[in-house]
A and B are shown apart, each in its own frame.
Chain A
Amino acid sequence: MSLAYARNDWYVIADRNSLEQGPRRTRLLGDEIHVSGSYAHPVIKDASGRMLPTQIKFDHVWTTVGDRPRPLFDIPEGNEPGRRLVPCGMVRVKCSPLRAVENFLDIAHFPFVHTDVLGAEPYTEVEPYKVEIREQNDEVWATKVKFFQPLAAKSAAGGITTDYEYRVPAPTTAVLYKTCPPKPEAQDVITIFVQPRSETECDVWPWMALYDDDTPYADLVQFQQMIFLQDRSILENQRPIKLPLDPRMEIPTRSDLTSVAYRRWLKKRGAFYGALAETL
């Protein structure tokens, strides 16, 4: 269970669009949260009426319920000139917030879950790639990840081998850097910010920072929504609902190196909210 670690992280609680719809109730780490105000002046309160701190970053409103919150990580690419920043709204999933992050780090499911878009049989093989815990900021990184994709992005025409890097800066955030078809020297950035409503339910807020000035906003968002909603039907059908940290409970293979590192990293730092820490 261990709320202790999770309370001191920052979480997305709203975006501009959701605030424009008026006040609403949501949940964070099992407790009710009231969201009102405007994007410039968001008002976030817990069930007792206590005002929670807020900050605006990556086109979202972030909050924390902790007494000694860790600093919110940076995604420096978000400040690079020429990038289009694309918040994609929120999707609710009945799954552990950690399972949502782990799925985002996985490429081996592309041919089966994102068929003919991010992958297709018979191109199912995952080549060796590199996973490390970067010491300076204690983040999980997977690099030199490659996968053949029939239709990798809205700006791609035809199949290409896409290069990926993955970064986990916090237990409920995953950042993906991928080949950007119109600008080969740069990388598109696609992230998910996961708001843990409870250990078994989350709101997922995708956000992108792309080099794509041509594709209409609606098409960019819908590509991202298509991909994530394909994942949702998987995520709601994994058992146990919480992410098992005992390696004996779910058998990994070589292509799961990122997932293995992510689970170990969670265990090492005691980030057990949404995890099944005990052994069976």
Chain B
Amino acid sequence: MTWRPVGLTRDVPAGRVMRAWVDGQDAVVWRSTRGVLSAWDNRCPHRGMALSHGFVRGEDLACLYHGWHYGAEGGVCSLIPSHPDLTPPDTIKTRAFQSAESDGVIWVRLEGSPDLAPPAIAPGLDPLRSFEIRAREGDIAHGAAAKPFEPAILSLLFNPIAHDRTLVTVLIDAQATSDQRKLASRWCEDVRREVEA
């Protein structure tokens, strides 16, 4: 399976949770209080609730519905609040995917050789923003190429999240000024408007 860029490191600080799509799989990406990043099946094994609505307590992610806790180490259920004295059987666990970070980008893949790192990004780039376009990767790349951004170097990463939706992660020359970054952010909107039209 391929590593997919699902967002920016700065968008998932310690204690935060987000949803991501990886090769059609609904995933939850979250960071523990101590900073451990995890990517799991976005589904509580208890009643199917999306874990991306959950909350972080220390090194656990808890489901919003009944507060069942799952530990960053292995995704095993560590607490069932309706029976606080019960030690949950370790068969209750979430399905874990691989996650990695490089150059300020979070990458997830469903499976694959653990040694294989995510693709390297050209040096000297800062993450700018990630956003969704209701179009396919090819059409977006085409639209972006037709509308070159002059003020600074940009690099675009694509993650297909449905047949007609793509998450685009944009990186910009680390030397770019604030004004150039804001212009680049507007350029993203322009590309989206044209590609979706």
Contacts and interface: CB of A to CB of B under 8 A. Distances in A.
Interface of A: 106, 108-109, 111-113, 121, 124-126, 233-234, 237-240, 244, 250-255
B118 interface: no
Interface string B29-59: 0000000000000110111111001000000
B80 interface: yes
20 contacts: A108-B66, A108-B82, A111-B67, A112-B67, A121-B67, A121-B81, A124-B67, A124-B81, A125-B83, A125-B84, A234-B65, A237-B53, A238-B48, A238-B49, A239-B26, A250-B47, A250-B48, A253-B46, A253-B80, A254-B83
A253 B89 CA distance: 11
Contacts of B50: 237-239
A114 to B, nearest CB: 11
Contact of B83 (A109, A237, A240, A253): A253
B46 A238 contact: no
A121 B47 CA distance: 20
Chain B CB within 10 A, most for which of A112, A121, A244, A254: A112
Interface residues of B, number: 21
B92 interface: yes
Contact of A250 (B45, B53, B67): B45
B12 interface: no
Contacts of A126: 82-83
Contacts of A238: 47-50
Given A108-B82, A121-B67, 7 more contacts: A112-B64, A112-B67, A113-B65, A233-B53, A234-B49, A251-B45, A252-B46
A54 to B, nearest CB: 35
Contacts of A113: 64-65
Contacts of B86: 253-254
Contacts of B49: 234, 237-238
B93 to A, nearest CB: 10
A124 B66 CA distance: 9
* Minimum-distance CB pairs A-B, first 9: A124-B81, A255-B82, A108-B82, A126-B82, A237-B50, A238-B48, A112-B67, A108-B66, A239-B48
Nearest to B67: A112
B83 A112 contact: no
A244 B47 CA distance: 9
A250 B81 CA distance: 17
B43 A239 contact: yes
Contacts of A109: 65-66
A103 to B, nearest CB: 9
Contacts of B81: 108, 111-112, 121, 124-125
A244 B82 CA distance: 22
A90 to B, nearest CB: 24
A148 to B, nearest CB: 12
A113 B82 CA distance: 14
B64 A234 contact: yes
Contacts of A108: 66, 81-82
B64 A124 contact: no
A242 B85 CA distance: 32
A124 B84 contact: yes
A240 B42 CA distance: 11
A112 B65 contact: yes
Contacts of A251: 45-46, 92
A100 to B, nearest CB: 13
A255 B53 CA distance: 22
A88 to B, nearest CB: 23
Chain B CB within 10 A, most for which of A233, A239, A250, A251: A251
Nearest to A112: B67
Interface in B166-196: none
Chain B CB within 10 A, most for which of A108, A113, A254: A108
A124 B86 CA distance: 13
Contacts of A255: 82-83
A255 B84 CA distance: 11
Nearest to B47: A250
Nearest to B81: A124
A113 B53 CA distance: 11
B46 A112 contact: no
Contacts of A234: 49, 53, 64-65
